[in-house]
Amino acid sequence: MTQKSDDAAADLLIKEVDEELRQDQMLQLWKRHGTSILGGFVAVILVVAGLTAWNAWGDRKREQSSLSFTEAARAAEQGKLEQAAELFGRLSTEGASGYRLLSVLKLADIKQRQGALPEAITLYDRVAVDPGANGEIQSFALLKAAYLKVDTAEPEGLERQVSPLAIESSPWRYSAREVLALLALKRGDKAKAIEFFQKIATDESAPPSTRERASNMTSALGG
């Protein structure tokens, strides 16, 4: 993948995936251990896959991986999760470079949809520390795993992982702050949770729906 293509893919991930991470109501997320945050990023993944295939059009393995990836994504969209999981699982180990990493993400999404949260977390964690992954993809995977770990992980350790993504300059700060707010609630620190929700609610650059949700959560907590 060229630098230009890589930058384009990163921009798409920031725009599409960060919003996807914030779709569900916070109270629903808390009650369902993050399972309501489903992967809905087939389109952006297919764009990245398309860019990868275009840059190596003459490579037979990449062409075959592209076809298999498209078939797997279509199966997932149609609810044929077992078939999709098998195809993505094969691509995650045998696919051409680029498709392997994307297939791990899609496989993790399917495991989450199937309720196999420990397997999904393992796969997201795998991408989050993969030295060959784009930095934005690593951050995305880390946040996906964090949402699923909120109710079971040791809060301090998870906070250390997520906090760097909550700074003002981070494009992921809205999702990261939601995770930190949930962790504060888990510790019984309502004041800290309100602080994080207020940061989201008063951030004019945040999507309106995100600000409204954070404002509602602040009110619900008595802030």
Question: Along the 223 residues of the chain, how does pLDDT read in single tens digits?
Answer: 554 544 555 455 444 444 444 444 444 454 443 333 334 444 454 455 555 555 544 467 888 888 999 999 999 999 999 999 999 999 999 888 788 999 999 999 999 999 999 999 999 999 999 988 889 999 999 999 999 999 898 889 999 999 999 999 998 999 999 999 999 999 999 999 999 999 999 998 888 888 898 899 999 998 7
Could you write out the DSSP letters of every residue in the chain? --HHHHHHHHHHIIIIIHHHTT-S-HHHHHHHTTTT-----HHHHHHHHHHHHHHTTT-HHHHHHHHHHHHHHHHHHTT-HHHHHHHHHHHHHHSPTTHHHHHHHHHHHHHHHTT-HHHHHHHHHHHHT-TTS-HHHHHHHHHHHHHHHTTTS-HHHHHHHHGGGGSTT-TTHHHHHHHHHHHHHHHT-HHHHHHHHHHHHT-TTS-HHHHHHHHHHHHHTT-
Tokens of 128: 């989050």
pLDDT, residue 16, reads 47
Scanning the structure block, which residue is given the tokens 């700074």?
A: 167
> Is residue 195 a contact partner of residue 179, using CB atoms and an 8 Å limit?
no
Is the pTM here over 0.95, yes or no?
A: no
pLDDT, residue 207, reads 82
Q: Show Cβ contacts of residue 124 under 8 Å, excluding neighbours closer than 6 positions.
A: 105, 108, 141, 142, 144, 145, 148
pLDDT, residue 223, reads 74
How far is 68 from 66, CA to CA, in rounded Å? Answer: 5
